[in-house]
């Protein structure tokens, strides 16, 4: 058995659910209870109902025959990628290699994997089996918050990620969740370091989920997320350097660009789209339909772009006319 995100299942015809938006990546989830006990995630609490959820999304279970048959039509349904997520278990990477080989027989779409790996040899074996990108998820930017929320050492996971990125250029990615106690300085400094190491970054906003230890906390303010999101975009596309960013008490106050230059760079709305592996849009992973949107899963309208840019500009102390 394997789980599919409810949107992936609907797109592939395995469920009759009607969705507000459909994914451009098929999201699969393997494994049962997770050995990690991340405080923001329902997967580690062992509750059957909670196991059906990851992020805001529900994950119905299907047989492999059903999923293989559906995925063989993935490209004709407009899907651009497959993303296999796995809970942490005690069985090593062999079950993952088996799944990757099965998937490689039925689709040539690029395959992302987000799973627990212990060393670069495991990463190499998974890449050799047919994975396009492997995520070593850092999730929590602040090292002390990392220990409290995920347990273990952030330094060790970062070392593994950077070591793999050096040995497997362009093949490593990570997830960073904004709103878990980090400052904007810390978030953008880590983003800058990871970009320089050629790591693909997917930004998320923290979502308080029922059944988790963090269910009563608040999601981050949208303007906080926009500053990190825009900073990430500018760094990634070489439009500004981290050295030009200015902070007041670790809160971003300037990207070092004049207002018109910043408006021009952000005018197509791309900075506010879902980030991460190419073709990954994660519709409503962080947001409820009709509520504030952190990551747009599709191109923004002009009004949406103008609103996002205005919100960003108003929150900055801009260096106008310098
Ligand atoms: S960025 Fe998207 S496709 Fe890549 S690992 Fe994360 S969820 Fe999967």
Q: Whose CA is nearest to atom 2 of ligand 1?
A: 280
How many angstroms does the Cα of residue 22 sit away from the middle of ligand 1? 15
Supply the pLDDT for residue 288: 77
Instruction: Provide the pLDDT confidence category of residue 320 given band limits of 50, 70 and 90.
Output: very low
Average pLDDT (43-63) is 71
Whether 10 has a pLDDT exceeding 60, the answer reads yes
Supply the pLDDT for residue 321: 40
Average pLDDT (84-113) is 92
* Range 287-302 burial, b when 16+ CB lie within 10 A, else e: beeeeebbbbbeebee
The finding on whether 137 has its CB within 6 A of some atom of ligand 1 is: no
Supply the pLDDT for residue 322: 40
Which is more confidently placed, 177 or 285?
A: 177
The tokens describing 233, both together, are 């975009």
How many angstroms does the Cα of residue 276 sit away from the middle of ligand 1? 6
Which is more confidently placed, 62 or 18?
A: 62
Residue ranges in 72-177 assigned as alpha helix (H): 94-106, 120-129, 143-149, 154-167
The finding on whether 277 has its CB within 6 A of some atom of ligand 1 is: yes
How many angstroms does the Cα of residue 282 sit away from the middle of ligand 1? 8
Q: Using CA of residue 237, residue 240, residue 245, residue 251, what is the dihedral sign?
A: negative
Whether 287 has a pLDDT exceeding 90, the answer reads no
First to last CA, the chain: 60
The distance between the two most distant Cα atoms of the chain, rounded to a whole number of Å, is 63
The per-residue pLDDT of the chain, averaged, comes to 92
How many angstroms does the Cα of residue 163 sit away from the middle of ligand 1? 20
Supply the pLDDT for residue 317: 66
Q: Whose CA is nearest to atom 4 of ligand 1?
A: 277
Average pLDDT (136-164) is 97
Residue ranges in 154-216 assigned as alpha helix (H): 154-167, 184-196
Instruction: Provide the pLDDT confidence category of residue 256 given band limits of 50, 70 and 90.
Output: very high
- Tell me the pLDDT tens digit for each residue of 13-37: 999 888 889 999 999 999 877 888 8
Give yes or no for a contact between 228 and 184, defined as CB atoms under 8 angstroms apart.
Answer: yes
Whether 150 has a pLDDT exceeding 50, the answer reads yes
Supply the pLDDT for residue 243: 98
Pocket perturbation via mutation, ligand 1, pick of 114, 134, 138, 199 by most ligand atoms within 8 A of CB: 114
Average pLDDT (161-186) is 98
Determine which of 20-34, 39-53, 250-264 has the lowest per-residue pLDDT on average.
Answer: 39-53
Give this prediction's pTM: 0.94
Whether 176 has a pLDDT exceeding 90, the answer reads yes
**Residues recorded for the chain:** 322
How many angstroms does the Cα of residue 133 sit away from the middle of ligand 1? 9
Q: What is the CATH number of domain 2-315?
A: 3.20.20.70
Residue ranges in the chain assigned as alpha helix (H): 6-11, 48-51, 64-71, 94-106, 120-129, 143-149, 154-167, 184-196, 222-236, 259-266, 302-315
Q: Where are the domains of the chain?
A: 2-315
Supply the pLDDT for residue 318: 52
């Amino acid at each position: 058995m394997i789980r599919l995100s409810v949107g992936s299942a609907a797109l592939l015809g395995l469920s009759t659910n009607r969705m507000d938006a459909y994914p451009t990546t098929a999201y699969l989830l393997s494994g049962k209870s997770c050995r990690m006990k991340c405080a923001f995630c329902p997967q580690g609490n062992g509750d059957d109902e909670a196991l059906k959820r990851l992020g805001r999304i529900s994950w119905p279970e299907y047989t492999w025959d059903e999923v293989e048959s559906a995925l063989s039509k993935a490209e004709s349904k407009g899907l651009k990628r497959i993303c296999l997520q796995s809970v942490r278990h005690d069985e090593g990477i062999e079950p993952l290699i088996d799944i990757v080989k099965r998937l490689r027989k039925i689709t040539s779409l690029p395959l992302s994997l987000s799973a627990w790996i212990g060393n670069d040899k495991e990463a190499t074996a998974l890449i050799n089996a047919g994975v396009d990108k492997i995520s070593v998820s850092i999730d929590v930017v602040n090292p002390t918050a990392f220990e409290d929320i995920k347990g273990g050492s952030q330094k060790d996971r970062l070392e593994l990620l950077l070591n793999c990125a050096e040995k497997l250029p362009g093949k490593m990615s990570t997830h960073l969740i904004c709103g878990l106690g980090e400052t904007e300085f810390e978030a953008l400094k880590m983003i800058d370091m990871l970009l320089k190491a050629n790591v693909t970054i997917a930004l998320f906003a923290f979502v308080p989920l029922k059944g988790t230890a963090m269910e009563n906390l608040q999601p981050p303010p949208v303007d906080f997320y926009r500053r990190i999101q825009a900073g990430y975009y500018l760094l990634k596309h070489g439009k500004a350097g981290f050295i030009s960013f200015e902070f007041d008490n670790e809160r971003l106050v300037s990207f070092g660009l004049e207002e018109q230059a910043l408006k021009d760079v952000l005018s197509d709305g791309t900075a506010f789209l879902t980030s991460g592996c190419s073709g990954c849009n994660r519709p409503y992973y962080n947001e409820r339909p009709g509520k504030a949107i952190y990551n747009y899963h599709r191109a923004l309208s002009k009004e949406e772009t103008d609103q996002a840019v205005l919100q960003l500009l108003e929150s900055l102390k801009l260096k106008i006319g310098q």
